[in-house]
Amino acid sequence: MSKSFGTETALGAARPRGNMTAYWSVTLLLAAAVMVSGIGQLMQYGGNIELVTSLGYPLYVLTILGIWKVLGAIALVVPGFPRLKEWAHAGIFFLMTGAALSHAFANDYGDYGFHLILPLFYAALNIASWGLRPKSRIR
């Protein structure tokens, strides 16, 4: 009986640790990507200006999106505040799906559909992070 009990304990302990590792791996990757993207937009770095103007948006949109992304990335990794994290996940989902739709409606798919695939990949990471969140982050 003790072998059976010990095995169950070991398996039971491994599952939450694996879930926590998966959660933090996905969440940190998402937060880093969103943070880098937001900083790039705030600094109007790289092709951000051309990207936004080709879609027909004014340049000040970069500042708005950059601020939202930086704040959302911080909200994802700061301890506590489960309701804020829920809102951050919702905001990131709408930002990323909105970006993909904007490019699709403007027929601006990028090389090999990059302008659609990347934001949809981030939206999928966001969903995975939300779905893997620990019970302590659920109200």
Per the CB < 8 A criterion, the answer to whether 73 and 34 are in contact is yes
Cα(120)–Cα(100) distance, integer angstroms: 7
User: Can you give the C-alpha Rg of the chain in angstroms?
Assistant: 19
Write out the DSSP string of 13-77.
HHHHHHHHHHHHHHHHHHHHHHHHHHHHHHTT-TTHHHHHHHTT--THHHHHHHHHHHHHHHHHH
Query: What tens digit of pLDDT does each residue of 116-127 get?
Result: 999 999 999 999
Q: How confident is the model at residue 105 (pLDDT cuts 50, 70, 90)?
A: very high
pTM, two decimals, is 0.82
**Chain-wide mean pLDDT for the chain?**
88
